[in-house]
């Protein structure tokens, strides 16, 4: 894989804060296309998060870190409790068998975070606390989020996986993506970096440590990563792939 010049989506989010909806539309569409490809190939990713999404010189995504991925055909289920707590779907937190739908929930968490500039729920120390938070939380974005974007969020963050948005063809039917050039994006004829609020530096690494981004990193990053361990000790000992 070629060098990912612009680091990862998490770093970009720290710099950008809330993204413009046009940029969110592009990034969620690219991630959705990747998920569609993986799921059709019989792979469940299980750790979709901003830190695992690298960016090339034009801002296009590259999914990385397949350490928790697994071969899983559509309509099959698996049961390992794994992933990153803040992105875990309710069915994993409830220790239920689950399907590829968990990856689409994680996309919903990413979309919310990019739109709003913060995670929908603060981190937790273990998956039991996170379970309670997720089950009690109402995933409603602030008023500044458009009705069309809010509709996508509502469908991705359905707590019942059977009701959750989980196919690219379903994306294409929604008003938020009406007339969106998916084919042109797939061919990389659209540069996501052109839809960001600021012009990207040659690399994100240098900009990441300027005073403003470092301050935001301390304020948001630490809180966002509380409890983001991939397993509790008990789960590490008992989980079976």
What interhelical angle do 147-156 and 101-116 show, nearest 10? 150
The verdict on whether 103 is a catalytic residue reads: no
Which value, to the nearest 10 degrees, does the dihedral of the CA atoms of residues 161, 85, 200, 29 take? Answer: -10
Q: For 92-129, how does the pLDDT look when each residue is reduced to its tens digit (9 = 90+)?
A: 999 999 999 999 999 999 999 999 999 999 888 888 88
Question: Which is more confidently placed, 154 or 203?
Answer: 154
3-class secondary-structure state, position 56:
coil
Q: Which two tokens stand for residue 5?
A: 């010049």
Taking residues 167-172, what's their average pLDDT? 92
Report how far Cα 184 is from the mean position of its chain's Cα atoms: 22
Task: Say yes or no to pLDDT of 177 above 70.
Answer: yes
Where residue 131 falls (left for φ over 0; alpha for ψ -120 to 50; beta otherwise) is: alpha
Selected from 1.10.3720.10, 1.10.510.10, 3.30.460.10, 3.60.15.10, the CATH number assigned to the domain covering 9-238 reads 1.10.510.10
Q: Which of helix, strand or coil describes residue 201?
A: coil
Question: Is the pLDDT assigned to residue 200 strictly greater than 70?
Answer: no
Q: What is the reported pLDDT for 6?
A: 79
Catalytic residue among 47, 56, 122, 179: 47
Give per-residue pLDDT as tens, 29-81. Answer: 999 999 999 999 999 999 999 999 999 989 999 999 999 999 999 889 999 99
């Amino acid at each position: 894989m070629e060098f990912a010049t612009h680091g990862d989506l998490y770093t970009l989010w720290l710099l950008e804060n809330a993204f413009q909806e046009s940029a969110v539309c592009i990034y969620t569409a690219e991630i959705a296309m990747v998920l569609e490809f993986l799921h059709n190939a019989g792979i469940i990713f299980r750790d979709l998060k901003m830190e695992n999404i690298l960016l090339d010189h034009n801002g296009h995504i590259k999914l990385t870190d397949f350490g928790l991925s697994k071969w899983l055909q559509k309509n099959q289920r698996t049961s390992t409790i794994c992933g990153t707590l803040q992105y875990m779907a309710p069915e994993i937190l409830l220790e239920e068998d689950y399907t590829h739908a968990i990856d689409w929930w994680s996309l919903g968490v990413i979309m919310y975070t990019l739109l709003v500039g913060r995670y929908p729920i603060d981190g937790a120390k273990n998956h039991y606390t996170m379970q309670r938070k997720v089950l009690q939380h109402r995933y409603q974005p602030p008023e500044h989020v458009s009705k069309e974007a809010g509709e996508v969020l509502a469908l991705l963050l359905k707590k019942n996986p059977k009701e959750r948005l989980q196919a690219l063809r379903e994306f294409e039917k929604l008003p938020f993506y009406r007339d969106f050039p998916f084919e042109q994006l797939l061919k990389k004829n659209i540069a996501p970096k052109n839809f960001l609020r600021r012009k990207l530096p040659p690399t994100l690494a240098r900009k990441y440590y300027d005073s403003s981004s470092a301050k935001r990193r301390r304020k948001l990053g630490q809180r966002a990563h509380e409890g983001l361990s991939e397993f509790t000790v008990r789960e590490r000992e008992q989980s079976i792939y």
